[in-house]
């Protein structure tokens, strides 16, 4: 595995690969603190192409609160070892100074898609995500990029940006990896105690409950389903605050009055022991 830190070197490699029709470059954008969920992304990347680039950049622009950025886990040595073991070809780890030099002014924004739902809880978050993802696409020039489905809103927004700006990259969504308990794997789980992890199961429980109500009881009215989601989260007890529970279109992120099979996203988020957690599912 080759480690690249310089943006210029990575751009040069990207240009070389672009000119080779035999090379399909698959990019796995990450913020480090790699876990089994990232492992699944890397495995999928190997299936989709013959040159896998993992990027590791804890993007300051997507953290609305400095303390959240500070608390974000950093495990650079372990991350490199994981990538090496998983036969990643290139590992791109630029510095914040190189990505956002003094005088950096330009950002990418997918209008209201980025300010709704999670964007309301974390203002500016998706502007930060889109800006860094667009930069990474310009630098690495991948044919395909893989993203986890857990942050379903991020996936919708990135697809939208790619479509709107005619970016020459295909976006592939990869299913969420869960603990046996059902807890969606996240770098943030490391900040939870065992007791808080148990409480955090209210998120996956809320999603499962909706699947049950739709599939087994034929309920499609969002009002009733949302009530079930909210009560699953609100009954998790002290230390858990519901941030949102939404039933939205998988394309426009607009609230749906009824679930539409094949085009519905269930989005939930809660703060557990001060840690903001999200989960999602498709119907």
Closer residue to ligand PAF in complex, CB, 189/222? 189
Minimum Å gap between C-beta 217 and ligand PAF is 34
Judged by CB under 6 A, the stretch of 23-31, 45-53, 65-73, 251-259 that binds ligand PAF is 23-31
* Cα–Cα nearest to 184, from 195, 193, 175, 171: 175
The label of the residue with tokens 């900040």 reads: 191
**Of these residues, 35, 38, 125, 160, which one is catalytic?**
38
Phi, psi of 272, deg, nearest 5:
-120, 120
Extended beta strands in 93-239, E state: 144-148, 170-174
Closer residue to ligand PAF in complex, CB, 172/239? 172
Total residue length of the chain: 283
Two tokens, residue 253: 């992120």
Closer residue to ligand PAF in complex, CB, 41/202? 41
Minimum Å gap between C-beta 54 and ligand PAF is 10
Closer residue to ligand PAF in complex, CB, 62/264? 62
Instruction: Please tell me the distance from the alpha carbon of residue 70 to that of residue 203, in angstroms, as a whole number.
Output: 25
* Cα–Cα nearest to 125, from 137, 116, 136, 135: 116
Minimum Å gap between C-beta 59 and ligand PAF is 4
* 125 given a catalytic annotation: no
Task: Assess 118 for contact with ligand PAF (CB under 6 A).
Answer: no
Minimum Å gap between C-beta 31 and ligand PAF is 4
Task: Assess 31 for contact with ligand PAF (CB under 6 A).
Answer: yes
- Position among 52, 113, 133, 174 found at the interface with ligand PAF (CB under 6 A): 133
Instruction: Please tell me the distance from the alpha carbon of residue 161 to that of residue 134, in angstroms, as a whole number.
Output: 9
Minimum Å gap between C-beta 150 and ligand PAF is 8
The SS3 of residue 123 is coil
> By CB under 6 A, how many residues form the interface with ligand PAF?
10
Two tokens, residue 227: 């009530």
* Cα–Cα nearest to 30, from 124, 105, 108, 140: 140
Active site residues: 38
Q: For binding to ligand PAF (CB under 6 A), which residues are involved? A: 29-31, 59, 62, 129, 132-133, 151, 154
């Amino acid at each position: 595995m080759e480690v690249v830190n310089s943006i210029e070197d990575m751009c040069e490699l990207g240009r070389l690969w672009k000119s080779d029709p035999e090379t399909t470059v698959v990019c796995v954008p990450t913020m480090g603190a790699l876990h089994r969920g990232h492992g699944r992304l890397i495995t999928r990347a190997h299936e989709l192409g013959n040159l896998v680039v993992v990027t590791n950049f804890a993007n300051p622009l997507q953290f609305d609160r400095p303390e959240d950025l500070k608390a974000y886990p950093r495990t650079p040595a372990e991350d490199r070892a994981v990538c090496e073991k998983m036969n990643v070809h290139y590992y791109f780890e630029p510095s914040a100074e190189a990505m956002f030099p003094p005088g950096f002014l330009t950002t990418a924004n997918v209008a209201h898609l980025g300010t709704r739902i999670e964007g309301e809880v974390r203002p500016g978050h998706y502007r930060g995500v889109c800006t860094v993802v667009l930069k990474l696409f310009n630098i690495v020039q991948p044919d395909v990029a893989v993203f986890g489905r857990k942050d379903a809103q991020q996936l919708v927004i990135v697809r939208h940006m790619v479509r709107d700006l005619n970016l020459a990259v295909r976006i592939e969504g990869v299913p969420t990896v869960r603990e046996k308990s059902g807890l969606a794997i996240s770098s943030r789980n490391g900040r939870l105690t065992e007791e808080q992890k148990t409480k955090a199961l209210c998120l996956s429980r809320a999603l499962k409950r909706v699947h049950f109500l739709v599939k087994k009881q034929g309920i499609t009215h969002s009002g009733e389903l949302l009530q079930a989601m909210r009560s699953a989260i609100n009954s998790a007890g002290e230390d858990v605050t519901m941030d949102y529970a939404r039933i939205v279109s998988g394309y426009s992120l607009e609230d749906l009055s009824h679930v539409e099979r094949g085009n519905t996203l269930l989005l939930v988020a809660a703060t557990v022991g001060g840690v903001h957690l999200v989960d999602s599912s498709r119907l």
